[in-house]
Amino acid sequence: MDLRGKKILLTGAVGGLGWDSALEFVRAGGRVFALDINLDKGKLLEQQAADSGAGSLVYVNQDLGDQDGLLRTLQSIVQREGEIEILVNNAAIYPSKRFEEYSMDEYRMVQQINVEAAVICCQVLLPGMKQCGYGRIINVSSVTFYGVLPNLYPYVASKASLIGLTRAWAREFGAFGITVNAICPGAIPTEAEKIHPDPEAYTRSVLEHQALKRRGHPRDIAAALLYFASAASSFVTGQVLNVDGGWMMH
């Protein structure tokens, strides 16, 4: 799939799933603005991207919790580089504990990073997408949206919000040639998985749930994001794609 001439904003770019996706976008010829909060990893990603092919990658160090800063950073990128046609809202935090142990501040923090930052990114990039009559917005939700794991309620609520936003935005932006879709990754082994206390038991249970009897790989997620980011998905909008080895089937 070809992303030559396209600019992409990818949040959570140095994370377990973001990393491979960022490199896949570069290999497809895109110019990637890879946003995260880890400067060292960001520099490493820039180096890998420089060796990996057709497109280019610029690391953007920005805390998504600093909403004014985020707005300023995005505005300055757009001013400098022109419109960004593809937005992938991928960053997330995922604290895990029992419902009673969360404070409202913790709940709000999860919504701020996982949902409100996505809204701000959309607000800044939408005018450019409308202007060129082309846009792709992809929200990264989660298999946990379907109620498969306990002790994650702020995270699950945030992932549900992203699916709501996907449908609301798809309906509203369709007339401008902008598609909006979501993916729900299943259990892909990354840092995020360390929230589970017994990794082997967790792997066994994941494989029991999946129709496919192998663990997922960040490449599986990158392939789905690339599809939604490319012209190949131009007649698909408002959809949620489960990329989970056949765990959920609806």
Ligand X SMILES: NC(=O)c1ccc[n+]([C@@H]2O[C@H](COP(=O)([O-])OP(=O)(O)OC[C@H]3O[C@@H](n4cnc5c(N)ncnc54)[C@H](O)[C@@H]3O)[C@@H](O)[C@H]2O)c1
DSSP strand E in the chain: where? 7-11, 31-36, 56-61, 86-89, 135-140, 178-185, 240-243
Q: Does 237 bind ligand X (CB under 6 A)?
A: no
3-state secondary structure 190-226: CHHHHHCCCHHHHHHHHHHHCCCCCCCCHHHHHHHHH
CB 135 within 8 A of CB 86: yes
* Catalytic (active site) residue 155: yes
Question: Which of residues 73, 142, 179, 230 is near ligand X by CB under 6 A?
Answer: 142
Q: Does 138 bind ligand X (CB under 6 A)?
A: no
Q: Does 149 bind ligand X (CB under 6 A)?
A: no
Question: Which of residues 8, 42, 90, 173 is near ligand X by CB under 6 A?
Answer: 90
- Cα-flanking dihedrals φ and ψ of residue 242, to 5°? -85, 120
Closer to ligand X by Cβ: residue 142 or 179: 142
Q: Does 93 bind ligand X (CB under 6 A)?
A: yes
Q: Which residue has the tokens 């990264």?
A: 140
CA atoms 186, 142, 61, 133: torsion sign: positive
Q: Which residue has the tokens 């489960």?
A: 242
Question: Which of residues 3, 6, 15, 121 is near ligand X by CB under 6 A?
Answer: 15
Give, in degrees to the nearest 5, the angle at Cα 25 between 244 and 63.
85
Question: Which of residues 3, 8, 9, 18 is near ligand X by CB under 6 A?
Answer: 18
Question: Which of residues 60, 84, 129, 143 is near ligand X by CB under 6 A?
Answer: 143
Catalytic option among 59, 94, 134, 155? 155
Q: How far apart are CA 127 and CA 72, in angstroms?
A: 16
CB 208 within 8 A of CB 186: no
Question: Which of residues 3, 8, 9, 14 is near ligand X by CB under 6 A?
Answer: 14
Nearest Cα to Cα of residue 161 among 206, 108, 230, 102: 108
Q: Which of the stretches 13-21, 45-53, 120-128, 197-205 binds ligand X when contact is defined by CB under 6 A?
A: 13-21
Q: Does 238 bind ligand X (CB under 6 A)?
A: no
Number of amino acids touching ligand X (CB under 6 A): 27
CB 201 within 8 A of CB 29: no
Q: Does 113 bind ligand X (CB under 6 A)?
A: yes
Question: Residue with CB nearest ligand X?
Answer: 15
Q: Which residue has the tokens 């409100």?
A: 116
Q: Does 17 bind ligand X (CB under 6 A)?
A: yes
Closer to ligand X by Cβ: residue 3 or 17: 17
Question: Which of residues 1, 27, 37, 239 is near ligand X by CB under 6 A?
Answer: 37
Q: Which of the stretches 123-131, 182-190, 198-206, 224-232 binds ligand X when contact is defined by CB under 6 A?
A: 182-190
Active site residues: 155
Query: Which residues of the shown chain bind ligand X in the complex (CB under 6 A)?
Result: 12, 14-18, 36-38, 63-65, 90-94, 113, 140, 142-143, 185, 187-188, 190-192
